[in-house]
Amino acid sequence: MIIPIRCFACGKPIAQEWPAFKEAMKKGGDLKKALDKAGLKRQCCRAVFMGHIDAIDVISKYKRG
């Protein structure tokens, strides 16, 4: 699906940093540096970014009807 707007655990808005983070990782950037640059200091917010996979384009092929 899409990245959650806020962190599940602490509620900090994080979605605005996702496109830049994804771009940095696509260029083969360092994960730690990319997370630091996105301003994610807490482990809960960092875990949301590390565990996320954009699956909306895959899932939307199988809609009902």
Contact residues: Zn ion, CB under 5 A: 7, 9-10, 42, 44-45
Q: How far is the CB of 20 from Zn ion (least distance, A)?
A: 18
Q: How far is the CB of 42 from Zn ion (least distance, A)?
A: 5
Contacts for 44 with CB less than 8 Å, ≥ 6 apart: 7, 8, 9, 10
Of 4 and 22, CB closest to Zn ion: 4
Q: How far is the CB of 13 from Zn ion (least distance, A)?
A: 10
